[in-house]
Amino acid sequence: MSEGKCMNCEAGSKDRPLVKIEVDGKEERVCVKCLPALIHG
Ligand SMILES: [Zn+2]
């Protein structure tokens, strides 16, 4: 089982908390630092 990395900056959950999201039907992860940027485009 893969640990998962932020789809944007590739930070692992050891670096920052990661949030699971669904993108185009696939489960991805994004860290809390990149999440606001993702929301705001
Ligand atoms: Zn990130």
37 DSSP β-pair partners: none
- Residues 1-40 have pLDDT tens digits of 467 899 999 999 999 999 999 989 999 999 999 999 888 8
Q: Is 7:27 a contact under the CB 8 Å cutoff?
A: no
Q: Where are the domains of the chain?
A: 1-41
Q: Distance (Å, rounded) from C-alpha 7 to C-alpha 27?
A: 10
Whole-number pLDDT of residue 40: 84
| 14-26 core/surface letters (b: 16 or more CB in 10 A; e: else) | eebebeeeeeeee
Q: Which two tokens stand for residue 16?
A: 């920052």
Report CA(4)–ligand 1 centroid distance (Å). 11
Report CA(21)–ligand 1 centroid distance (Å). 13
Q: What pTM did the predictor assign?
A: 0.78
Can you tell me whether residue 8 is helix, strand or coil?
Answer: coil
Report CA(22)–ligand 1 centroid distance (Å). 15
Whole-number pLDDT of residue 1: 47
Whole-number pLDDT of residue 38: 85
